[in-house]
Amino acid sequence: MDTPVVEKHQAKLIVIDDGGKDIPTQITDNIQENRRFIWWALLFLNGSCLWAYYSCLSAQSYYASRFAKTTFDFAYLTTPVTTWPIFVGHLIQVAFGLDKKLGMWNRVRIGYALNALSAFAIILQNAFNAEPQTGATIVIIAFGVIGVTDSLTESSFFALSALFPESSFTDAIQMGDGTSGFINVTLNTLIQLCVGGIHPAAKDSEDIQKISFYIFFSVFILVCFLAVYVFWRLMQVPAVKYLMQRNEAETVRRALNKETYGEMWARLVRIGGVVILPTLCQFVIFLCSLTAFPGISIKAGFQMAGASGGTWGSWYTNGVLLSYNYGDFIGRVISPWFYRFFTIKSCFVWTVLRWVLFIFILIGLPGGGKNPLFAMADAPVFNQIWLLFINFMLGITSGVLSTITFGLGPRLVAQEDRESAGAIMCLGLFLGISLGATIDWQFGANHWLGA
């Protein structure tokens, strides 16, 4: 691995994986000159995509009270309603080459415009006090639209990061994910403390829900506009402009050669064959994470709360969200130091072994006598700590393994194939999230093991 000579204060940031051998020296030099802005821009951009998802997740108490008398169970529906549109939208783009035809700039503008409109719709249904069933329907549809638009924006950022000759920019994308969750759940917890204290009254709980709700979705609308501007500024960096133009030139070349769908699919299959293992890693990592989090652990908390319910259950929900998201954030922060210890093959082995954490969560699920794995009946306090710790480990392992596999995967192929490699790996990621969220939903809907 040949690493360019850089100034001493920059050296700790340089992680050139393939030496940029097929990229002109002046471009690799420009990357180093602008690397801090590029890195932080990518972190912010992917974090902006995830802000909507985490806002939807953090507002569980609001949905529970606002839509209590509707046919929708938001405790389990929030995630699958958002994630399946991401996967389906991305699959259609990749299968028919729409991601290439639309281009990154158009995808970003369209995506954030629709995101902002969806956030407005969610806010207005509450502001105008829409009938609960109608309001719930509007929110569900808005979640689906946000999912589709994330397939435009988030996949664009993953694709852009894959064009760089080093994994640190893909790490920035992953850090954006973790940072968004970290800030969101922390802010949600602080709002509860400031408004209602540790033991909020019923009226204060309602105020907390509304304040959190308006803050998260109002900030999201602002973030949508800011993200479009940041992406535009990012495109003005000469190195980024070169990588994007080179990638677009390859798309134009294929169009001029009248590439058929058969030829395009054959090319995608060829690239997919090279990145099959890291794609499987992404799928298995998020299948495990979303099957276990957040539904089952939150349900376990309310079961442990029993008749005392209310405040205790709400705070334990915060504990679960904080544990996983703090773990995920820490995992993504420390992952650059762990590359040396992992290969694609060892990552896959660890993603499979990681399923033991799901079993550990079931060991702490009371289940009302329906869960034969429950082993904490005589240690309720230890069980509370146990579940929070396992969720933390679930998050930290997700952060490390997902970051490293996405950092290594696209760089297994040639420069002109990296956007497609990133898109294929996103399919594995989105499918894992969607299927895991659906399994988690079914645990709650069918009361499997008393969940």
Strand, helix or coil at 16? strand
pLDDT of residue 57: 65
Whether the per-residue pLDDT at 234 is higher than 80: the answer is yes
pLDDT at 380: 87
Q: Give residue 167's pLDDT.
A: 84
Domains of the chain, residue spans: 26-259, 260-450
Assess whether pLDDT exceeds 70 at residue 398: yes
What digits encode the pLDDT tens for the residues 236-278?
999 999 999 988 887 788 777 788 899 999 999 999 999 999 9
CATH topology classification for 260-450 = Growth Hormone; Chain: A; (1.20.1250)
Tally of CB atoms within 10 A around 42: 28
Domains 26-259 and 260-450 share a fold: yes
Query: What percent of the chain has pLDDT above 90?
Result: 50
pLDDT confidence tier of residue 192, bands split at 50, 70 and 90: confident
Domain 26-259 matching CATH 1.10.260.40: the answer reads no
Tell me which residue has tokens 């205790």. Answer: 312
Tell me how far apart the alpha carbons of residues 430 and 42 are, in angstroms, rounded to a whole number. Answer: 19
Helix (H, G, I), strand (E, B) or coil at 390: helix
Mean pLDDT of the chain: 85
pLDDT at 16: 41
Task: Write out the DSSP string of 187-255.
Answer: HHHHHHHHHH-SS--HHHHHHHHHHHHHHHHHHHHHHHHHHHHHHHHHHTSHHHHHHHHHHHHHHHHHH
**SS3 state at 23:** coil
Q: What is the pLDDT of residues 94-134, one digit of tens each?
A: 999 888 888 899 999 999 999 999 999 989 998 898 998 99
Banded model confidence at residue 309, pLDDT cuts 50, 70, 90? low
Neighbour-count burial of 157, counting CB atoms closer than 10 A to its CB (0-12 exposed, 13-18 middle, 19+ buried): buried
* Nearest CA-CA partner of 287 in 75, 48, 87: 87
Query: pLDDT confidence of 411, banded at 50, 70, 90?
Result: confident
pLDDT of 7 > 50? The answer is no
Tell me how far apart the alpha carbons of residues 29 and 427 are, in angstroms, rounded to a whole number.
32
Mean pLDDT of 52-72: 74
Question: Which of the 8 DSSP states describes residue 364?
Answer: T
Contact 315, 301 (CB under 8 A): no
